[in-house]
């Protein structure tokens, strides 16, 4: 009898347990639906505005979403990034500082917020605050690259070299050429050559230093090494190479080297160095150049009329500039680091007309 009663209770308990399970599962669904009617609606409105390029409306929607759910860190990150992109750096800083003040933030989100705060300060030009924000924060590759950018903008070449070496150790690629530029900025040209023997800048700068001390033989030797290790840089090296060739053997060797390079590249900079060395007359050299390569710059040297030549010289000035391959910034002189986008070695050795 007792055994039968136990079975009866068990059979009665099964549908009750099933019903309770169904009820609580529906309760979770109802709760999820209730929550989704508040914060996500504003969030998805913001995403929609953002995809349509309507940043003002997107910001308003995200602010509404953050007010509805102030504990959601992802919304704060999205809003802070939007403020930074709009140039509202003070508002971006406040959003990320509010995040960092939260005690419930995970370690990964805290490091992310620290990096975002440093990016806010860096974009605003407050480099010291950006550096301080990174101290003791994330050691991620992105944080290290931002710190490297801060040191470069602040011209702290020692710090930049240290961070670049760390990035290279972490497997972020080779930073030898960039570190060679840092050495050149400090006047450590021998160290730059030892670190990156194929980089032409150190040879060129050291050659200028020897030429200023009237040590033209050493200067000529250095430029000859640079011409062999970095032949693509000959347009920059050509005129200094001719200027430093004081003996007849050096002059003959320099002319032979540049003439061979000109036959391959038809570079106007190399041609002008050859003309300065007496390789051909100015008129014959530019006339021969026009046979191979159409060039307004070369044609302007063949105009007899002084007035017409002056007009052409003015018209060809933009063609004589160097243009950054990364951002398009143009300059009359050659830059190893672009003043516009801060990229290293982004200028081709050819001028605009020859690109």
344: DSSP letter: B
Place of tokens 């050559």: 193
At what angle are helices 141-153 and 127-134 packed, to 10 degrees?
Answer: 150
Dihedral of CA 319/321/325/328: which sign?
Answer: negative
116-153 pLDDT per residue, tens: 889 999 998 898 899 888 886 667 888 899 999 999 99
Contact 69, 75 (CB under 8 A): yes
- What whole-number distance in Å separates Cα of residue 14 and Cα of residue 344? 73
Name which of 327, 326, 325, 345 is nearest 337 in CA terms: 345
Rounded to two decimals, the pTM is 0.75
**Residue 230 tokens, joined:** 């970095």
41-97 pLDDT per residue, tens: 655 555 555 556 666 666 566 565 555 555 567 777 877 887 888 888 888 888 788
Would you call 267 helix, strand, or coil by DSSP?
coil
pLDDT at 134: 86
175 band by pLDDT with thresholds 50, 70 and 90: very high
pLDDT at 206: 95
- Radius of gyration of the chain from its Cα atoms, rounded to whole angstroms: 33
280-331 pLDDT per residue, tens: 888 888 888 888 888 888 888 887 667 667 777 788 888 889 999 999 999 9
- What whole-number distance in Å separates Cα of residue 230 and Cα of residue 207? 15
330: DSSP letter: E
Taking CB atoms within 8 Å and a gap of at least 24, the contacts of 42-49 are 42/68, 43/75, 46/78
**Residue 182 tokens, joined:** 């840092």
Q: How big is the CA angle at 147 (ends 144 and 149), to the nearest 5 degrees?
A: 115
> Is a pLDDT exceeding 60 seen at residue 27?
no
18: DSSP letter: H
């Amino acid at each position: 009898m007792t055994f039968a009663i136990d079975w009866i209770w068990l059979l009665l308990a099964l549908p009750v347990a099933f019903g309770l399970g169904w009820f609580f599962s529906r309760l979770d669904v109802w709760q999820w639906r209730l929550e989704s009617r508040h914060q996500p609606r504003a969030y998805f409105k913001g995403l929609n505005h953002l995809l349509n390029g309507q940043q003002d409306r997107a910001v308003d929607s995200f602010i509404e979403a953050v007010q509805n759910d102030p504990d959601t860190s992802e919304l704060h990150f999205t809003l802070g990034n939007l403020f930074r992109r709009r140039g509202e750096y003070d508002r971006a800083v406040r959003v990320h500082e509010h995040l960092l003040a939260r005690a419930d933030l995970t370690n990964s989100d805290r490091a992310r917020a620290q990096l975002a705060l440093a990016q806010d300060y860096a974009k605003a030009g407050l480099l010291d605050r950006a550096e301080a924000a990174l101290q003791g924060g994330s050691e991620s590759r992105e944080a290290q690259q931002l710190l490297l950018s801060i040191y470069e903008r602040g011209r702290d070449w020692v710090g930049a070299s240290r961070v670049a070496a760390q990035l290279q150790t972490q497997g972020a690629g080779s930073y030898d050429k960039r570190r060679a530029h840092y050495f050149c900025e400090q006047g450590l040209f021998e160290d730059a050559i030892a670190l990156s023997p194929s980089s032409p800048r150190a040879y060129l700068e050291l050659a200028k230093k020897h030429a200023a001390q009237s040590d033209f033989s050493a200067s000529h030797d250095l430029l000859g090494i640079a011409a062999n290790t970095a032949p693509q840089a000959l347009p920059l090296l050509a005129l200094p190479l001719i200027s430093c060739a004081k003996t007849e053997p050096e002059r003959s060797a320099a002319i032979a080297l540049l003439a061979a390079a000109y036959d391959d590249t038809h570079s106007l900079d190399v041609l002008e160095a050859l003309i300065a060395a007496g390789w051909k007359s100015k008129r014959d050299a530019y006339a021969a150049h026009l046979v191979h390569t159409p060039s307004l710059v070369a044609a302007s040297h063949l105009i007899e009329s002084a007035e017409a030549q002056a007009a052409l010289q003015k018209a060809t000035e933009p063609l004589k500039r160097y243009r950054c391959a990364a951002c398009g910034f143009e300059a009359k002189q050659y830059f190893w680091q672009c003043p516009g986008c801060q990229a290293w070695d982004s200028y081709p050795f050819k001028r605009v007309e020859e690109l």
